[in-house]
């Protein structure tokens, strides 16, 4: 949370608790607000402000310095946004099928015979099923089946380039 966000929330809560800064150095409410505010800051920011040559004394000084230091740090350390996924991104290698080859549909009798013999429905070899077939399958071309080639997809998603 940024120092500005923290300060905004803190001021709202202080107002709800009827705590107000009098602006007078050494006033009880000001000392209380300053100490609570200071202790609520993240530790590196609090230590950074405390270690300045002239440490802030009032609550208002703490707010000003904490926000300034936080903004300075955020400018010098831009946040790197990364997206993680539970799926691993593996590029599939597709081998295009020559245009003159076609895959004939299996008849019900062939399908039953292949099941009994343990043959693959795709390559017709024994020892595996079509889901585990080592023969590369042609790429699935959705655009030619569902929409005209010149029409953009309905829900385009921006994918930033990877460096």
Q: Return the domain boundaries, the chain.
A: 3-76, 108-146
pLDDT of residue 29: 74
- In which band, very low, low, confident or very high, does the pLDDT at 7 lie, cut at 50, 70 and 90? confident
Q: Is the pLDDT of residue 25 over 80?
A: no
Residue from 58, 67, 51, 70 nearest 27 by CA: 58
pLDDT of residue 35: 84
pLDDT of residue 101: 53
**How do the residues of the chain divide into helix, strand and coil, expressed in percent and rounded to 5?**
45, 0, 55
Report the pLDDT averaged over residues 57-62: 83
| CB environment 127-154: b (16+ within 10 A), e (fewer) | eeeeeeeeeeeeeeeeeeeeeeeeeeee
pLDDT of residue 23: 57
pLDDT of residue 158: 57
* Joined tokens for residue 57: 């004394």
Q: Is the pLDDT of residue 99 over 60?
A: no
pLDDT of residue 102: 57
pLDDT of residue 87: 59
Report the pLDDT averaged over residues 26-54: 81
Instruction: Give the torsion through C-alpha atoms of 36, 37, 40, 42, to 10 deg.
Output: -140
């Amino acid at each position: 949370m940024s120092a500005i966000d923290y300060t905004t929330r803190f001021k709202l809560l202080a107002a709800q608790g009827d705590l107000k800064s009098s602006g007078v150095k050494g006033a009880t409410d000001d000392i209380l607000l300053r100490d609570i505010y200071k202790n609520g800051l993240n530790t590196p920011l609090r230590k950074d402000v405390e270690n300045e040559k002239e440490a802030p004394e009032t609550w208002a000084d703490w707010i000003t310095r904490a926000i300034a230091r936080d903004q300075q740090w955020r400018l010098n350390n831009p946040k790197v946004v990364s997206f993680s996924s539970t799926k691993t991104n593996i590029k599939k290698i597709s081998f295009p099928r020559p245009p003159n080859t076609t895959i004939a549909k299996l008849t019900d009798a062939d399908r039953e015979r292949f099941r009994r013999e343990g043959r693959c429905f795709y390559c017709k070899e024994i020892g595996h099923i079509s889901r585990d077939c080592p023969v590369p399958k042609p790429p699935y071309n959705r655009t030619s089946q569902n929409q005209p080639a010149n029409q953009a997809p309905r829900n385009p998603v921006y994918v930033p380039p990877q460096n």
